[in-house]
Amino acid sequence: MTPPLLEVRDLHKKFGAVTAASNINVSFAAGETVGIIGANGAGKTTFVNMITGYLPPSYGTILYRGADITRRPPRDIARLGICRSFQVSQVFTSLSVIENLLTAVAIASSPGLAMLRPLRRPELLERAEVILERYRIAQHRDQLASDLSQGARKLLDIAMAVVSAPRVLLLDEPTSGISSEEKTALMDVVMEALKQDQMTILFIEHDMEIVERYVDRVLAFYQGEIICDAPPAEALRDAKVLEYVIGTEVQPEARGHA
Amino acid sequence: MLRDRTVQGLTVALVVLLVASFFVPSWIVNQMLFASARAIAVIGLMVLWRTRLVSFGHALYFGLGAYTVAMVSRYTPVTDAFLLLGAAAALATLLGFLIGFIIRRYRDIFFAMLNLAFSMILYGILVKTEALGSTDGFTIAAPTFFGMAFEDAQEGKVALLCVLLVVGWAVAVGVQMYLQSTLGRLTTAIRDNEIRVEYLGYSVERAIHIKYVLSALLAGIGGGFMALALGQVDPDSMVNWTASGELVFVTILSGPGSVAAPFIGSFVFEILRTYAFEWMPHAWQMIVGGTLLVIIFFMPGGMWALVTRLAGQRAAGGAPGMER
């Protein structure tokens, strides 16, 4: 049996008296697309932050390709092949779109002393232009990142996260702040671009239509715990998910079957 | 994207200044010596400033460079300018490397004041130690250049100026190349968003440490040259917080637009200070302070912004060596 690409064992996170994540045991195979759902404060972002090294877990273990990466700094985890985008886009606002991508490409392809090589190298520029096209932001090429619309900035944030061709990509609410009409269009661009790289994708999302449309599997969080781990068709009809995540009134008999 | 002509511009300036140094009056030679020595240190501060880091204590390295030159010259048979400056550069780099492990974790006012704290420790040691010249400092014998000694003091100064101009050119070109490298371009990226730099896989602390060591090296070289140009060292003009303040002043006056800016800003500062002192010997600081206010309010891009404006170039992104 193939070992999981990413595995989380008994993960806990406490902020003082508040438990943000508790008893999380889950694994992800290569190529999976997983939707992470839950109400605000359910522990989704804490979970992503722990995997990507932004927050150290109180205890528990995170294994990536069999190696323990718990408490490794974000840059090490990114170098190993786990990258992320953010709920609030993290881009270089005083650089143009192409300069943002060029910086990302250059860091990804310049280990050690290669960082002293010029930034504007033809091969880096070529790679940055390809990503620019793939994420449909070529029309904003020379625009400052600070001047981009929310949607374009989200695309740039995600594009910067994938320049190093990671094996695992975590997207924290890729459609937040985007109008409902634009959400599907943005996700179509993102998922089509990501499909070409064959990576495992975990994304936090509040829009259940988006979840149903793009994912193979759903993880539902409630009060820091995973309350459901199933394919979308099953998860989005699960009584606990309906009650604690989606907020639908559940009949007692339905709850009994859950 | 315009072609960067910084290196060509610096090379032309070097040739012109080298030739001019043989013809200009001695007081101009002195001003050029002081201005160029300080400019080398200011280039290092400019690199930090581009990352939005301001040091109020770089006189630590400036003074260390100056005192290293003075001490080696006084207590050893070494008189060669290159060896003296090499020692100054090495010691400043070493100290910058060691202190950098602490400094790189801090930002904003803490970064600025920690540097000041370290510099005041050195100041305290110097003023209290007789063997280091105490508050009076001590004089330095005129250096030799590859075994060549100049009996005429003015000739010696012109020789030192020629060496200083060549070293200044090399420093400016080297820093320009660094700023064009991936690591150097991280100055803007770190200034904008440290989190993204970390998640792209590079250590922000390491990048800042490298910039800090570079700035310490340049301050050490600048201080070494200043000691040779003045022919003496003392704690108040080399290590005190006012010396750090002068470096920050010149950095703001110059502007962050180009590696050439510190040379212009530093020369303007020397002239301004000389004439302000001549005109108002007891209140010359008012004129210098007033100038700083004018720069901050009306010319936040410093002298370099004025140079580019006069040259008719577009200030935003169009100037040689300009970086957003």
- Angle between helices B153-180 and B204-230 in degrees, nearest 10: 170
As a whole number of Å, the CA-based R_g of chain A is: 19
pLDDT by residue (tens digit) across B65-119?
999 999 999 999 999 999 999 999 999 999 999 999 999 999 889 999 999 999 9
Q: Which of A82, A171, A104 is nearest to B202 (CA)?
A: A104
A67's enclosing H/E stretch is: strand A67-68
The rounded distance, in Å, linking the Cα atoms of B210 and B213 is 5
Is it the case that residue B51 has pLDDT exceeding 50? yes
**Contact: B185, A119; criterion CB under 8 Å:** yes
Arithmetic mean of pLDDT, A16-45: 91
The rounded distance, in Å, linking the Cα atoms of B256 and B44 is 11
Say if B286 falls within a structural domain: no
Is it the case that residue B314 has pLDDT exceeding 70? no
Arithmetic mean of pLDDT, B1-22: 86
Q: What is the pLDDT of residue A236?
A: 86
User: Measured between CA atoms, how close is A11 to chain B, in angstroms?
Assistant: 22
Q: What is the pLDDT of residue B39?
A: 97
CB B270, CB B308: distance < 8 Å: no
What number of other Cβ atoms are within 10 A of residue A176's Cβ?
17
Say if A162 falls within a structural domain: no
What number of other Cβ atoms are within 10 A of residue B183's Cβ?
22
Q: Which of A63, A80, A76 is nearest to A6 (CA)?
A: A63
Cβ under 8 Å to B: A residues 149-168: 160-161, 163-164
- DSSP tag of A143: S
What residues in chain B have their Cβ under 8 A from chain A's Cβ atoms?
Answer: 177-178, 180-186, 188-189, 191-193, 195-203, 324
**Contact: A116, B191; criterion CB under 8 Å:** no
Considering only the beta carbons, identify the residue of A73, A92, A108 that sits closest to B196. A92
CB contact, 8 Å: A69 with chain B?
A: no
Task: Please give the mean pLDDT across all residues of chain B.
Answer: 91
Say if A148 falls within a structural domain: no
Question: DSSP per residue over B80-126, as a string?
Answer: BHHHHHHHHHHHHHHHHHHHHHHHTT--HHHHHHHHHHHHHHHHHHH
Q: Domains in chain A: how many in total?
A: 1
Contacts of A163 in chain B (CB under 8 A): 200
Cα distances (angstroms) measured from residue B220 to each of B65, B253, B258: 4, 21, 21
Arithmetic mean of pLDDT, B126-154: 90
Q: pLDDT grade, residue A184 (50/70/90)? A: confident
Domain span including residue A198: 6-90+167-257
**Contact: B199, A114; criterion CB under 8 Å:** no
A82-85 and A33-38 beta bridge pairing? unpaired
In sequence order, what are the residues at sequence separation of 6 or more whose Cβ sits closer than 8 angstroms to the Cβ of residue B136? B234
Instruction: Count chain A–chain B contacts defined by CB atoms under 8 A.
Output: 85
Is it the case that residue A119 has pLDDT exceeding 90? no
Contacts of A146 in chain B (CB under 8 A): none
Say if B23 falls within a structural domain: yes
Query: Which of these ranges, A22-26, A166-170, A196-200, has the smallest mean pLDDT?
Result: A196-200
Q: Which of B87, B98, B305 is nearest to B209 (CA)?
A: B98
Is it the case that residue B323 has pLDDT exceeding 60? no
Say if B288 falls within a structural domain: no
pLDDT by residue (tens digit) across B166-176?
999 999 999 99
Considering only the beta carbons, identify the residue of A91, A106, A114 that sits closest to B196. A91
Q: Which of B187, B165, B174 is nearest to B259 (CA)?
A: B174
CATH code assigned at A191: 3.40.50.300
Is it the case that residue B227 has pLDDT exceeding 80? yes
Contacts of B184 in chain A (CB under 8 A): 119
Q: Which of B225, B209, B217 is nearest to B58 (CA)?
A: B217
CB A220, CB A188: distance < 8 Å: no
CATH code assigned at B69: 1.10.3470
Q: Is the ipTM of this complex over 0.85?
A: yes
CB B318, CB B256: distance < 8 Å: no
**Contact: B180, A164; criterion CB under 8 Å:** no
**Contact: A104, B199; criterion CB under 8 Å:** no
**Contact: B185, A103; criterion CB under 8 Å:** yes
Nearest chain A residue (CA) to B177: A118
In sequence order, what are the residues at sequence separation of 6 or more whose Cβ sits closer than 8 angstroms to the Cβ of residue B197? A107, B186, B189, B190, B204, B207
Is it the case that residue A207 has pLDDT exceeding 50? yes
Dihedral sign for Cα atoms in the order B138, B144, B147, B152 = negative
A217-222 and A33-38 beta bridge pairing? parallel
Say if B15 falls within a structural domain: yes
- In a mutagenesis test of the A interface, which of B200, B202, B213, B324 is the best target, namely the one with the most A β-carbons within 10 Å? B200
Domain span including residue B218: 7-254
**Contact: B182, A104; criterion CB under 8 Å:** no
Say if B289 falls within a structural domain: no
Arithmetic mean of pLDDT, B141-160: 91
In sequence order, what are the residues at sequence separation of 6 or more whose Cβ sits closer than 8 angstroms to the Cβ of residue B25? none
Is it the case that residue A187 has pLDDT exceeding 50? yes
Say if A114 falls within a structural domain: no
Say if A172 falls within a structural domain: yes
Contacts of B198 in chain A (CB under 8 A): 73-75, 78
Say if B279 falls within a structural domain: no
Say if B321 falls within a structural domain: no
A177 against B293, higher pLDDT? B293
Task: Please give the mean pLDDT across all residues of chain A.
Answer: 88
CB contact, 8 Å: A141 with chain B?
A: no
- DSSP tag of B213: H
Q: Domains in chain B: how many in total?
A: 1
Instruction: Determine what percent of chain A is predicted with pLDDT higher than 70.
Output: 95
Say if B315 falls within a structural domain: no
Instruction: Determine what percent of chain A is predicted with pLDDT higher than 90.
Output: 54
Contacts of B194 in chain A (CB under 8 A): none
pLDDT by residue (tens digit) across B246-290?
999 999 999 988 999 999 999 999 999 898 988 888 888 888 889
Say if A202 falls within a structural domain: yes
Q: What is the pLDDT of residue A253?
A: 55
Q: What is the pLDDT of residue B322?
A: 40
Question: DSSP per residue over B26-75, as a string?
Answer: HHHHHHHHHHHHHHHHHHHHHHHHHTT---S-THHHHHHHHHHHHHHHHH
